[in-house]
Structure formats: structure tokens, C-alpha cells
């Protein structure tokens, strides 16, 4: 492989430890270095699209050594993480000037990216846990970065529930090691295929599902997210909703279920139920919110449900021995919606940050008529809202359409009905945002506000363009075959993951 995989961990990690050296006087240099680091990671992620390989750390072959694995799924996740991370870091250049200790913020931000990149590349479950904790601890600190009472309370709640999830995952790692004698995913998979699931491994699997579902904020494990998102700085809300819950929760859960333990009817149904519950509950709870960012937080729970539903439906079809074409289509819809949600919801949180920075409030009852004062924010928010709601021709429409087609073809008509119903609820919630934030009469206290331009607008417009252009990933065959199809194949192949990894040694 032309690009050594450790650079995806080394670049943000080394930069994170360098930034605090600059202190308050070197904020501009620290900001520049942080943006260069995220931009370089985006370039590296694009460079490894369509590639696969295994990198042995220290030239120690597995199972004795540690390895990093790149396949279609991890490649897709690297691109998504780097894209959102680059936009959020660019937005932070101006937005975080209202906070103190900016260099420390940038350092924590890069540590969070370090952890996420490590999670998607790790070839063994213990190091997956270690990288997951790096990202989690950095995110706990970033949620409470404002140091106000609300921020600290939300951060504490997030830390407590996140720690419970981490304990579940660590217990599961210990049980797997005790029953298989290995921590490497490929060798664990081989051991399970040889001897089957015993009571200990079944118990470990239940711990994994519970822990990763809590990290993903799936209903009923979602209690931490509605408080954490409104309290965090807007770029961190974008990272939490756009990629953190999907990387630490959904990606890790899919990798463990499909490539290590193997998908079954029971686990397929669990994913479908969790996805449907999150979709419906998140949508209903979001409609009643008047706090702009809290509405977006509940919407994230609903949209993550789409992703889990697509992955679960694909796994269920495979486990039943159904048509692999419809299974692949369901997985394609789920993974494509993961990418769509990452971009569009990150953009929505950035626009909420622009609104809050200009108006000083998140209460939509105190807003109105902001379209004239915040034209770029209004335009990008409209694009992102349409994409999340599934309005054609935006990218979110295509991922939801694929899920509906897959559900109908696999004879899950009722699932297709729920998908359409929740999409209508999503449209209602974002029409509410447009009506109460950007339309109507401008309140007197807000007549003198202005839009913050520069890097903030560049970040928002860039993501808005992606909300429109990402539909090309499914329309143009060459793009689909290089980016989305390999990710789908990584899950469809299931336990063949172990043969591919071990066969490269």
C-alpha cells in the first residue's frame, strides 16, 4: 500500500500534542496547523478510496501483533470523518474566538479525530476500545468546553452514560478473549466459525450491542444526546451528530455483528427494531422542541435510526437466505444515508451555531425574519433541511428511496410505510424551523444583528454543495463502484473478512 495506514492516526495525534505549545499568543498559528492537519487527512482519505490492505504495526504478524485493516467500509468512514472534520475545523477558526483556550480546543478536536480514525482502522477489538475511549474522553471535555452550568451538567451526564457503555464494551472484550484466546477480529471470527457461539460469547455479544447502541444514542439508549448537543459548541455538535455517534456506535456495531460474530436472524431483528424505534421516537420528540439545537439533536436520533434500519434489514435478508440483491440494496441505502446524514446534519448544526452567534439565543420563539439578515445561513440551512427530510433531488431523497425499494422488494411493506411516514414528520419539523427562524417578522432586539462571514460561510457553503452533489454517488456507476459498493460488499461478505485479513499475512 502506497499510504501507510498509521498516518491517519499519527497526523492528528502529533498535531494535537503540538498545539498547546502555542498558547494564547499563537492562536493563529495553532488554527492554521489544525486546519492543515484536517485538510491533509481529507486528501489522504480520498487517496485510499478503492484500496484495501493490512498494516502490521512493528512488523509483528497477527495474532501476536497489532494490525490496521483498510477495506471498503473503513475507507468510506475515513472519507466521511475527514470531510466533516475539515468543515467543522474551518468553521471553528472564527466561531471559537468567543471562547478562551482555543489551542486546547483544537487539540481536543484532533484527539477526537485520532480516536475515530483509529476505530475504523483497528483490526483487533481491544485497540478498537482504546481508540473509542480516546475519542469519547475528548468529546466529554469538548461538550463542557464553555464551562457554564448547562455545559458541565450535560458533559457529566454524557460522561456517566458514555462510561457505562465503555464498561459494557470492555466486559465484552474480556469475555471474547476468555472464550477464543484472541483479540484480533479475524482470528476471533475463525474461532467462532470453528466452535460456534457458546454462552460466554452470546453474553459478550449482548454487551457489545448494548454498549455500541448507547454510543450511537439509539432509542432507548439516547438520554445523553439531547443535552449534550445543545450545550456543546456548534462545531462539536456537528462532529457529535455527524460522525462520532456513527463511528463509535453504528460502524463498530456493524463490524462486530457482520464480520466477527456473523449476522443472524436475532441480531438482524434487533437492529431493525432499534432502527424503527429511533426513527419514530426521535421524529415525534423533535417536532415538539423550541430549542433549535435540541430539535436537531432529536432529529439525529431519528436519522441514525434510518441507518441502523438499513443495515439491520440487509442483515436480516442475508440471515434468512433471501435474495442477496435486495440485502445489498438495503445495506447500500443504510450506508449511503450514513454519509448523507453526516454531511447534512453537520451543516444544520453549523447553521444553528451561526444563528446563535448572531442572535445570542437558541429559542426559536424569540426569532423570526432572519432570512434577510443571515442570507447564507438561511440558504445552507434550507438545503440541509431538504436533504435530511428526503426532498428530491437532494442526496437524502436517494438514500431513503433506496431503503423503500429494498423494503418493498424484500416484502417488508410495513417498513417502507414507516420510512415514508417518518420522512413526512421530518419535513414538518424542518418547515417549523424555516417558519419560526427565518420567515415572519424580525423582532426588534434582532434588527441590528449581522451574519458572520469568512471561514464560517465557506464551511457551510461547502457542505451545502455536497448535499446536492452527493446524489452522484448512486447515479454515476463509476463513483458508486469505487466508494459505496466496496463498503456494502464488506458487510455482505460477512465472515469472509477473516479469510481476507489472514490471507494477506
Report the percent of the chain where pLDDT is more than 90.
52
**Residue predicted with more confidence, 373 or 279:** 279
Cell numbers that stand for 484 in this block: 459505496
Contact 50, 75 (CB under 8 A): yes
Give the least confident one: 25-29, 88-92, 400-404. Answer: 25-29
Q: Is the peptide bond before 362 cis (omega within 30 degrees of 0)?
A: no
Binning pLDDT at 50, 70 and 90, where does residue 228 land? confident
- Could you give the angle at the alpha carbon of 261 between the alpha carbons of 255 and 265, nearest 5°? 100
Contact 222, 279 (CB under 8 A): no
- The answer on pLDDT for 505 being more than 70 is no
Residue pLDDT, tens place only, 323-380: 889 999 999 999 999 999 999 999 999 999 888 888 888 888 888 888 888 889 999 9
Residue pLDDT, tens place only, 424-434: 999 999 999 88
Q: Taking Cα atoms as reference points, which of 248, 255, 391 lies closest to residue 311?
A: 255
Query: What is the pLDDT at residue 55?
Result: 84
- The answer on pLDDT for 60 being more than 80 is no
Give the least confident one: 51-60, 286-295, 391-400, 484-493. Answer: 51-60
Query: What is the pLDDT at residue 330?
Result: 94
Rounded CA separation 166/170 (Å): 6
- The answer on pLDDT for 414 being more than 90 is yes
Mean pLDDT on 219-225? 86
Query: Most confidently modeled of 198-202, 224-228, 453-457?
Result: 198-202
3-state secondary structure of 223: coil
Contact 335, 76 (CB under 8 A): yes
Residues 6+ apart with CB under 8 A from 171: 204, 207
- The answer on pLDDT for 306 being more than 90 is yes
Query: What is the pLDDT at residue 14?
Result: 93
- The answer on pLDDT for 22 being more than 90 is no
54 exposure class (CB count in 10 Å sphere: 0-12, 13-18, 19+)? buried
Binning pLDDT at 50, 70 and 90, where does residue 23 land? low
DSSP symbol at 363: B
Cell 466477527 belongs to which residue? 260
Chain mean pLDDT for the chain: 89
Cell 415514508 belongs to which residue? 420
Query: What is the pLDDT at residue 303?
Result: 93
Amino acid at each position: 500500500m502506497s499510504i501507510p495506514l498509521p498516518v491517519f492516526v499519527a497526523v492528528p495525534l502529533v498535531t494535537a500534542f503540538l498545539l498547546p505549545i502555542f498558547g494564547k499568543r499563537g492562536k493563529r498559528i495553532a488554527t492554521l496547523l489544525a486546519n492543515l492537519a484536517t485538510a491533509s487527512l481529507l486528501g489522504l482519505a480520498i487517496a485510499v478510496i478503492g484500496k484495501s490492505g493490512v498494516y502490521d504495526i512493528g512488523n509483528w504478524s497477527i495474532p501476536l501483533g497489532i494490525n490496521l485493516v483498510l477495506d471498503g467500509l473503513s475507507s468510506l468512514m475515513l472519507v466521511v470523518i475527514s470531510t466533516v472534520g475539515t468543515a467543522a475545523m474551518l468553521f471553528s477558526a472564527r466561531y471559537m474566538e468567543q471562547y478562551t483556550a482555543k489551542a486546547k480546543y483544537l487539540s481536543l478536536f484532533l484527539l477526537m479525530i485520532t480516536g475515530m480514525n483509529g476505530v475504523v482502522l483497528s483490526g483487533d477489538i481491544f485497540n478498537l476500545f482504546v481508540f473509542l475511549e480516546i475519542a469519547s474522553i475528548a468529546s466529554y471535555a469538548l461538550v463542557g468546553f464553555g464551562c457554564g452550568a448547562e455545559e458541565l451538567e450535560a458533559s457529566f451526564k454524557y460522561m456517566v452514560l458514555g462510561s457505562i457503555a465503555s464498561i459494557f464494551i470492555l466486559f465484552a472484550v474480556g469475555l471474547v478473549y476468555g472464550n477464543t484466546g484472541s483479540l484480533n477480529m479475524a482470528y476471533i471470527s475463525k474461532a467462532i466459525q470453528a466452535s460456534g457461539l457458546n454462552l460466554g460469547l452470546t453474553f459478550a455479544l449482548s454487551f457489545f450491542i448494548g454498549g455500541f447502541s448507547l454510543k450511537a444514542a439509539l432509542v432507548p439508549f439516547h438520554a445523553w444526546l439531547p443535552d449534550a448537543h445543545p450545550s456543546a459548541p456548534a462545531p462539536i455538535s456537528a462532529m457529535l451528530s455527524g460522525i462520532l455517534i456513527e463511528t463509535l456506535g453504528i460502524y463498530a456495531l456493524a463490524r462486530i455483528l457482520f464480520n466477527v460474530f456473523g449476522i443472524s436472524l436475532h441480531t438482524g431483528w434487533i437492529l431493525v427494531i432499534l432502527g424503527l424505534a429511533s426513527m419514530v421516537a426521535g421524529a415525534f420528540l423533535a417536532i415538539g422542541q423550541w430549542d433549535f439545537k435540541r430539535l436537531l439533536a432529536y432529529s439525529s436520533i431519528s436519522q441514525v435510526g434510518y441507518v441502523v434500519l438499513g443495515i439491520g434489514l440487509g442483515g436480516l435478508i442475508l440471515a434468512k437466505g433471501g435474495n442477496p440483491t435486495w440485502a445489498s440494496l438495503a445495506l447500500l441505502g443504510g450506508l449511503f444515508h450514513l454519509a448523507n446524514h453526516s454531511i447534512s446534519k453537520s451543516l444544520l448544526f453549523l447553521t444553528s451555531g451561526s444563528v446563535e452567534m448572531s442572535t445570542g439565543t437558541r429559542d426559536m420563539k424569540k426569532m423570526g425574519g432572519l432570512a434577510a439578515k443571515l442570507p447564507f445561513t438561511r440558504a445552507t440551512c434550507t438545503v440541509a433541511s431538504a436533504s435530511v427530510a428526503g426532498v428530491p433531488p437532494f442526496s437524502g431523497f436517494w438514500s431513503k428511496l433506496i431503503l423503500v425499494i429494498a423494503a418493498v422488494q424484500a416484502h417488508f411493506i410495513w417498513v417502507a410505510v414507516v420510512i415514508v411516514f417518518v420522512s413526512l414528520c421530518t419535513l414538518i419539523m424542518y418547515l417549523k424551523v424555516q417558519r419560526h427562524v427565518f420567515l415572519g417578522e424580525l423582532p426588534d432586539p434582532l434588527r441590528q444583528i449581522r451574519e458572520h462571514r469568512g471561514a464560517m460561510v465557506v464551511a457551510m457553503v461547502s457542505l451545502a454543495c455536497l448535499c446536492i452533489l452527493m446524489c452522484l454517488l448512486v447515479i454515476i456507476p463509476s463513483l458508486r463502484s469505487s466508494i459505496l459498493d466496496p463498503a456494502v460488499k464488506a458487510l455482505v461478505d460477512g465472515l469472509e473478512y477473516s479469510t481476507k485479513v489472514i490471507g494477506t499475512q
